[in-house]
Structure 1
């Protein structure tokens, strides 16, 4: 099937306009970073902006009972191809994470109409992918996939004011008690593609403009709490201490060793660390640290989680302390659909631009969509791999290329049936 040529410069200008507009003061709660999350006025303004753009492209927009945005160019019940991402942000976010994916999906819809292709499309912008409002990653898509229970939803509380998720959702005009009906937004989808910035340096370092993603890493998020004994930092001899901080330090180094030894793309990170009493002249009696362990090999990354739990208990015991492991959340590896991946690869080759087939180390809404719908992702480079930061940078020209590749892949998939 012949490549459909696209005016990439015009597409890039439109995507850049979308992104720069949504970096304005109406769309963020801070002058220092992009901060917008579920049920805030700034998030509402962002949805309204995309609704206007999608309606101009010929789509009809609606929102599900918790606030996932859905736009279609076909009546309900007709088969459509899904595209989209999320437009909420990290609490210290940049302009491109998520938002560029929704902007690229909107551009696919514009091109579809302008080129007279009439491809059946549905755009979704998922709620709370970053978890900045309620501390729950990929929350909107997890609700759609049925990966939460009503008891869990009732227990989720806003980070800022402690009020329940249901209360915030109702106040924003939604009907969260009907959350099970959110699953319907995937009913008509024959496929799904999400464009996202890579959030790493692989594409940049290899000189590629496109990444075709064939798997998304699974992960374990957990905590280890160490109980030792707090003593005076000057009066207590080194061999009489039960220093919880040293247990934490040993575990951090062991996590690095275990992840390297596991290989196969496994990574391990301690991103949060706390000491008590946290005084310069006191031996730490307690420590807590987080674990983020990921990979595309299920046994490898879960093996690291098991091993670091055992190591922590043993390391604590050697110092007269104790350690307790508690899991926050765990998600399995998500293999993506070979047919959709293949169509994207073929479209990328036809574009003449360099691309790389790769896995995603970061979690995305596509993990949840892929349970029910054949799915894949497109990555575009971000400068220096910087993400979740106001310093985040990506090139709208790369997003325009990604949108053109998506358009051509969808045409191939829809035509082939």
Structure 2
């Protein structure tokens, strides 16, 4: 259905749409578009207009997810989507590219007059980033049927509750249960997304297929030592909490590098007390963010780190307390969907790199509803959550074409996990 000249046209349209969507921001200086804000409303309206222009019927649920419906109304649904909310001072492509790609794919399907024995819904979620309220994936959780009513009382930085924000947005919180799909009538969920990392660029390939969305553990580590005068306590007699914490941080790095499942580990926050230039640190609190495509591997790494941290503390005469404050399980992508996406990319003359996603996505919530698959698109320098974020029109055109190929060949299978 699509040719190289079509790829270029699709990519050019995607780039123009992303620029238009990227102009809808809280401030003109940079892109900031939080959940259930006036700029979210404008973005949702623009997406709805594009869906209608592509020949889709449009609806919107209680948590603001815009839905474009194609095909037989009573047929099972294939879902394709991503999100249109952003972090503060964001790039234009994270989430939005996937929504635009889905719309353009359905537009191409419509123009070709293709019919299918199933329907397709394009979904534009609004709360993937979790930047306004202390929750995340609430819009996709509602679609998947497991939104927690307790989240309605969570408040943003201005003291506005999610419930109040919904009402101001023109929604009724009592309608949230109606947002859920019947799992017996959903086939699968597919999401196209920029990689947000450097692997595809390093591999020289425009597209990748995600094997799993990595599970994540976050720890708070408190190391206690003894304060002392920086000039009078000999090195051999010190109990320096910061040096112990630094050695533990290096242990985390070693553990992640030795893993075979693409594990990544980050010590992103360190607080040192008393924080004086001439006092030996007596207490350090640091965080560990550990992610892996294997839950077993991640749990084993946590055990190894705890053992190493206590060994280091014992050798240095320190105390250490480790507490977990965040835990998300790995979400595998269905092998059948991975294969179909790889075949779609191969049809376009490219090799799809199979890789895990270290970042979270709406697919994590949608996996509780149906099988999921993800297509990654190369981004320049692996940069994301940054105004420098960029995916080329050529790569985006290929992503749209891959979605079209996927739909052309997709039947109603018994999907294999």
Cα gap change, 1:150/1:226 in structure 2, threshold over 3 Å: closer, same or farther? Answer: farther
Equivalent residue number for residue 164 of structure 1: 161
Task: Name whichever of 390-399 and 271-280 sits farther off.
Answer: 271-280
* 1:245-295 CA-partner distances (Å, limit 9, x unpaired): 223212210101111223321221112222234343343333222221111
Cα gap change, 1:374/1:308 in structure 2, threshold over 3 Å: closer, same or farther? Answer: same
Whether the 8 Å contact between 1:145 and 1:368 is mirrored in structure 2 is: yes
Equivalent residue number for residue 27 of structure 1: 25
Whether the 8 Å contact between 2:342 and 2:351 is mirrored in structure 1 is: no
User: Deviation of residue 147 (structure 1)?
Assistant: 5.8
TM-score by length of 2: 0.89
- Verify: 1:369 aligned to 2:366, yes or no: yes
User: Deviation of residue 16 (structure 1)?
Assistant: 0.7
Cα gap change, 1:261/1:242 in structure 2, threshold over 3 Å: closer, same or farther? Answer: same
* 1:89-135 CA-partner distances (Å, limit 9, x unpaired): 12242111111111111111211222212452101122221221124
Equivalent residue number for residue 295 of structure 1: 292
Aligned with 2:398: secondary structure? helix
Q: 1:272 aligns with which of 269, 273, 298?
A: 269
Equivalent residue number for residue 386 of structure 2: 389
Equivalent residue number for residue 349 of structure 1: 346
* 1:17-40 CA-partner distances (Å, limit 9, x unpaired): 11111222x324461x42212122
Within a 5 Å distance, the mapping from 1:245-260 to structure 2 comes to 245-260=242-257
Aligned with 2:369: secondary structure? coil
Equivalent residue number for residue 93 of structure 2: 96
Equivalent residue number for residue 122 of structure 1: 121
Q: 1:218 aligns with which of 193, 215, 220?
A: 215
Gaps of 5+ in 1: none
TM-score by length of 1: 0.89
* 1:199-222 CA-partner distances (Å, limit 9, x unpaired): 122211111111122322212123
Distance in 1 between residues matched to 2:66 and 2:89, nearest whole Å: 23
Equivalent residue number for residue 17 of structure 1: 16
Equivalent residue number for residue 149 of structure 2: 150
Cα gap change, 1:155/1:242 in structure 2, threshold over 3 Å: closer, same or farther? Answer: farther
Cα gap change, 1:108/1:312 in structure 2, threshold over 3 Å: closer, same or farther? Answer: same
User: Deviation of residue 141 (structure 1)?
Assistant: 2.5
Whether the 8 Å contact between 1:29 and 1:42 is mirrored in structure 2 is: no
Distance in 1 between residues matched to 2:51 and 2:147, nearest whole Å: 30
Moved over 6 A (4+): none
Whether the 8 Å contact between 2:14 and 2:396 is mirrored in structure 1 is: yes
Q: How many residues align?
A: 411
- Verify: 1:81 aligned to 2:78, yes or no: yes
Equivalent residue number for residue 55 of structure 1: 52
Whether the 8 Å contact between 1:340 and 1:413 is mirrored in structure 2 is: no
Distance in 2 between residues matched to 1:285 and 1:76, nearest whole Å: 65
CA RMSD, Structure 1 to Structure 2 (Å): 2.6
Task: Name whichever of 53-62 and 15-24 sits farther off.
Answer: 53-62
Aligned with 1:368: secondary structure? helix
Cα gap change, 1:174/1:273 in structure 2, threshold over 3 Å: closer, same or farther? Answer: farther
Equivalent residue number for residue 243 of structure 1: 240
User: Deviation of residue 391 (structure 1)?
Assistant: 1.3
Whether the 8 Å contact between 1:230 and 1:283 is mirrored in structure 2 is: yes
Whether the 8 Å contact between 2:334 and 2:373 is mirrored in structure 1 is: yes
Distance in 1 between residues matched to 2:182 and 2:327, nearest whole Å: 24
Gaps of 5+ in 2: none
Distance in 2 between residues matched to 1:205 and 1:309, nearest whole Å: 34
Task: Name whichever of 316-325 and 209-218 sits farther off.
Answer: 316-325
Aligned with 2:127: secondary structure? coil
Task: Name whichever of 101-110 and 356-365 sits farther off.
Answer: 356-365
Equivalent residue number for residue 407 of structure 1: 404
Equivalent residue number for residue 174 of structure 1: 171
- Verify: 1:68 aligned to 2:65, yes or no: yes
Distance in 1 between residues matched to 2:182 and 2:269, nearest whole Å: 36
Within a 5 Å distance, the mapping from 1:103-142 to structure 2 comes to 103-119=100-116, 120-142=119-141
Distance in 2 between residues matched to 1:363 and 1:283, nearest whole Å: 39
Distance in 2 between residues matched to 1:373 and 1:272, nearest whole Å: 36
Distance in 1 between residues matched to 2:303 and 2:129, nearest whole Å: 26
Cα gap change, 1:267/1:122 in structure 2, threshold over 3 Å: closer, same or farther? Answer: same
